[in-house]
Every structure is written in C-alpha cells, then in structure tokens.
Structure 1
Amino acid sequence: MNLSECYQLLELDERATLAQVKSSYRRLARRYHPDINPGDRAAHEKFIRLNQAYQQLVRVLPTFRSTSVEPEVNVDAPPAPPPPPDLSNLDLQLKQVTYRQLQELLKYRCYTRAISLIEGLVERLPQDPEIRQWQAVTYQCWAKQLIRDRQFDDARDFLNQALRADPENRNLWVETEKDFRTIDRLAGKSRKLW
C-alpha cells in the first residue's frame, strides 16, 4: 500500500501531522473494530487495512516531519532556523513530487537514486530547511544499509554528512549516535574474529 492510499484510508490530507494521523486512526479504529462489529467481515477487513496504513505512516512521518513533535523550550537554545524561503508554484510542485518519489525510493531501498534525487533538490533549493532534513534522513538511511553490509567507514562518512546537512535536528543527533555505537560494537566483533 502506498502512502497516498494510507492517507486516504485514514481520511487525511497528505500534509497531516503525526498527531492528526493518530487521532484519525483512533476514531476510525473504534468505528470498525471487530468487537464493535461482530461478524461483519467488511468492517474487519477495513480495520486490518486501517492498522496497516497507520503503522506505515507512523514509521515514515517522524522520519520526515520532526516538526510534528513538540519542541522543547530552552532559553539557551540557538534561534530557530529561518522559515523556508518563498517558493514559486513550480518549486512547490517540484518539492511535493520529489518528496513522494523520495519516500518510494527509501521504501524500496533504492538509496543511490534517493541520494541523487535529494542532492539535486538541495542544489535547486539550498535554503529550504525541510529539504535539508530530507537530505539528512536519506544519508542516514543509506548509512544504516552500509552498516548492515558491514561497510563501516562508508557508513561513518554518510552519518557525518547527515549531521552536516541538518545540524540543528536533535532527533537526528540521537539516532546517529546510536548508529555510531552500533558501528563500534560490530566493528569490534569483526576485529575479534580475525
């Protein structure tokens, strides 16, 4: 099921926040729950599809939309990044289409194509912080694959590129720190085998 279908099943717009996804899922799950509709096969099937759509969106949204999480207020925190520049209709369309394509490429683990796509968009719209965030996520996804493939040096390079692409993203720092620890742990195991 693609992301557009997930949004349609949850009766949401594709710009919905994580909170809106959760709220809509709870509302619809209550409506179609098998305990509420005993013996209704259609309601049971709808409930299963709602659950699948919800699970898929919950995995994807925090990755691409950290703005849906309430930021912590810190008096000593650096100023918030500037709002995205005013974009022409063509650039907005390009951004939306690229976002959908990027999601599909990451879903099917086409990382080199995803990197090419996002780097092209960053070149076109370098001041857009949301696009820089997508770039960081793409680099991190590729780094995770490199870790699975035991290409630890390349994985470190891409994790560092992710941090440079979106240096203000605290969630990214936490996740990359976990990835660096995983590399250290696995690289230590590899050395012990020799």
Structure 2
Amino acid sequence: MNLADCYLLLGLTPTASLTEVKASYRRMALQYHPDQNPDDLTAKDKFIQLTQAYEFLLDLVSENMVISPKSVANSYTTDRATAVIEVTPPPPTTATPAELSLAEERLKWNSYQQLQQLLKIRKFAQATTIAEGLAQRFPGDLEVRQWLAIAYQQWGRQLFRDRQFNKAKIYFRKALKTDPHNRALSVQIEQELEYIQQNIG
C-alpha cells in the first residue's frame, strides 16, 4: 500500500492534517467495523485496509499539516535511521498554484516516497538530486521546495557528523535559502550554524 492509496482509502487529500486523518478514520472505522457487520467479509477486509492506511499515515502527518514522518532530532549525537520531511503551512499568498494533472501528482508523490527512502538510508546525494529535479519540474510548488530544504539540511547534518564543517555550513545555508518561510526549519538550522560557529569557528 503506497501513500496515495492510504489517502484515497480514507477519502483524504495529501494535504490533510492529523486531525482530519483521525476524524476520517474514526468515521470509516465505525462504518466498516466487524462488530457492526458480523456477516460481511468485505467490510472486515475494508476495515483492515483502513487501519493499515491510518497507521501508515500517523507516521507521516504532523499536527500542523503535513507529511512528516517523525519530529527532527535536535542532537547531533542522535543516530536515527528515520528521515524527516517536515512541512509547515505556506505563507499567505494571492497567487493560485497551478493544478497538477493526475500524472504529475503521481510523479510528485512517487518521487516523495523515493526521496524519503533515500534519506532513511543516508543516500543524501541521490536524495538531493531527486529533490532538485522535482524543484525544477514544479518550480512554484511550496511542498517540493520544503522537501528540497530538508534534503539539504539532512545532508548538512551528515557532513557535520563527518566533521566536514565548511561543507555542512554550505548545505545548511542552501536549506535556509530554499525555504526561508519554514520557521521551524530556520530555527533548527540557525542553532546548527551557531553551534558550528561557537565550537569550530
């Protein structure tokens, strides 16, 4: 079951908040729960699929809005295998983003999944290449810009762990420049840059 299937099963769009995910699951789980449909095997199968989709999305969607597998580790010493793509709501704008075709939407979310996997296994060069390609393909897409910023930040953190401090600063600054409106990301990167400045020079 992929990300798109999970949203489809729960009747949601990829921008659904955690509250919306929970509400949709509760509503549909009541409808298809085996206790409510004791003789209906189809309902039982649907309930199992809904539960799997819900559990999958719980790991991906943050309270604020988005696709965020887990919270960012604030410590450099933490060696986590999970990658983080934390998306904050975009700043108010009067421009209307272009609607994506079904094929473009599929490309975007399949690439997102691939990006997540690469970050998890610490393939930062490949992850950044995918994110940069998406940013070129969808130049006005704020989510894609945020994904690219996170890829830069994650690579910067790895460079920091490898004690390549000058290169780490470059990628941290790229992340800031790519997504200047993501306040949570900005705060983290500013702390990381300050740490480098105070301890390394």
Which of 96, 121, 129 is residue 108 of structure 1 equivalent to?
121
Would the alpha carbon gap of residues 97 and 139 (structure 1) be closer, same or farther in structure 2, given more than 3 Å must change? same
Q: Partner letter of residue 123 of structure 1?
A: Q
Q: CA deviation at 1:3?
A: 8.2
* 1:3-152 equivalences in 2 (<5 Å): 15=14, 16-20=16-20, 56-57=59-60, 60=69, 63-67=85-89, 79-80=92-93, 82-152=95-165
Relative distance call for 1:140 and 1:82 in structure 2 (3 A) is: farther
For the Cα contact (< 8 Å) 1:143–1:156, is it kept in 2? yes
Distance 1:129 1:185, change over 3 A: same
Shift of 1:24: 9.1
TM score, norm. by length of structure 1: 0.63
8 A Cα contact 1:139 1:162, kept in partner: yes
Q: CA deviation at 1:84?
A: 3.1
Determine the structure 2 residue equivalent to 1:187: 200
Mean Cα deviation higher: 78-87 or 54-63: 54-63
Which AA in structure 1 matches 2:145? R
Taking only the aligned residue pairs, the percentage that are identical comes to 38
SS in structure 1 of the partner of residue 130 of structure 2: helix
Distance (Å, rounded) in 2 between the aligned partners of 1:94 and 1:185 = 42
Structure 1 pair 159–81 and aligned structure 2 pair: CA distance change class (3 A):
farther
Matched, 1:161 2:170: no
Greater helix fraction, Structure 1 or Structure 2: 1
CA RMSD across the alignment: 3.5
Post-superposition shift, 1:129?
A: 1.1
Structure 1 runs not aligned, ≥5 long: 29-51, 72-77, 189-194
Greater shift after overlay, 56-65 or 99-108? Answer: 56-65
**Distance (whole Å) between structure 2 residues aligned to residue 61 and residue 99 of structure 1:** 15
TM-score by length of 2: 0.61
Please give the secondary structure, in 1, of the residue aligned with 2:69. Answer: helix
